[in-house]
Amino acid sequence: MQPLIEARGLCKRFGGILAVDHLALSVQQGELVGLIGPNGSGKTTTINMLTGHLSPSAGEILLRGERSEGAAPSSFAARRVGRTFQITQLFSRMTVLENMLVPGLARPHSHRAEATRQARAHLEFLGLAKLEGLQAKNLSGGQQKLLELGRALMLDPEILFLDEPFAGVNPFLRDEIIGLIQKLHAEGRTFVIVDHDIEAIQRLVKRLVVMARGAKIADGAVEDVSHDPEVLRAYAGV
């Protein structure tokens, strides 16, 4: 079966540093994959390349079998690839509804009335409906995370890359975000989640990919990977 997204021999070099080293990764439709690794292991760089925010130095990215490395982020978004950022990136001085409408109206052949209806439905789903007129900068940190997720949902994404969705959120909100991801996954959406919160990741995913020093060192079922000696050595320092 053709993977939804696939990286072959993906490399990214920043000056003399090889941030991602010949990475091979494929994600099938409907998977929920955890991507973990110590700081500086190349996880965010990988996501940035797989969503068009960075051009690879070498290697291929195939989105539904189509070569896509070096394409603009908007091209990935138009092909239903959504993402959130390690540090929440919102349109701070725009309202919650306007934040949602940007991706809604950027989609080809979109109409404002329909985009507004979809935005309100997503805000309802995320529990932000009553805040639609508020400027994004006035939301709490957790609400901002949810809004960023909502904005990605406006692309009707087949695959969502979430970069540290649990960073800096309280346990209650973390459980809420886990519940939302599970619901969206049950609808058939594919997820790749980067986070340091191993407990949350293990609750969510069945497959774990582990990176260290820019290379993939393990890829498999959670229970197998979490006992892999190389993973324990590289990731947990054991």
> Interface residues with another protein (CB under 8 A)?
51-53, 72-74, 77-78, 82-83, 85, 89-94, 98, 101-103, 105-107, 112, 151-152, 154-155
Compute CA 140 distance to the chain's CA centroid, rounded to the nearest angstrom. 21
Which of helix, strand or coil describes residue 87? Answer: coil
Question: DSSP letters along 142-174, please?
Answer: HHHHHHHHHHHHTT--SEEEEESTTTT--HHHH
Among 166, 140, 28, which residue's Cα sits nearest to residue 84? 166
Q: In what order do the strands lie in the sheet with 81-83?
A: 81-83, 159-163, 190-194, 32-36, 207-212, 215-221
| Nearer residue to another protein within complex by CB, 36 or 119 | 119
| Nearer residue to another protein within complex by CB, 87 or 238 | 87
| Nearer residue to another protein within complex by CB, 85 or 166 | 85
69 neighbors 49 (Cβ within 8 angstroms): yes
Nearest distance in Å: CB 135, another protein? 10
CA distances from 220 to 13, 52, 157, 175, 224 (A): 26, 26, 24, 24, 7
Report which secondary-structure segment, H or E, holds 220.
strand 215-221
Nearest distance in Å: CB 95, another protein? 11
Nearest distance in Å: CB 221, another protein? 31
| Nearer residue to another protein within complex by CB, 59 or 73 | 73
Nearest distance in Å: CB 165, another protein? 15
Tokens at 203, concatenated = 């609750």
Nearest distance in Å: CB 91, another protein? 4
| Nearer residue to another protein within complex by CB, 161 or 235 | 161
| Nearer residue to another protein within complex by CB, 163 or 219 | 163
Nearest distance in Å: CB 42, another protein? 19
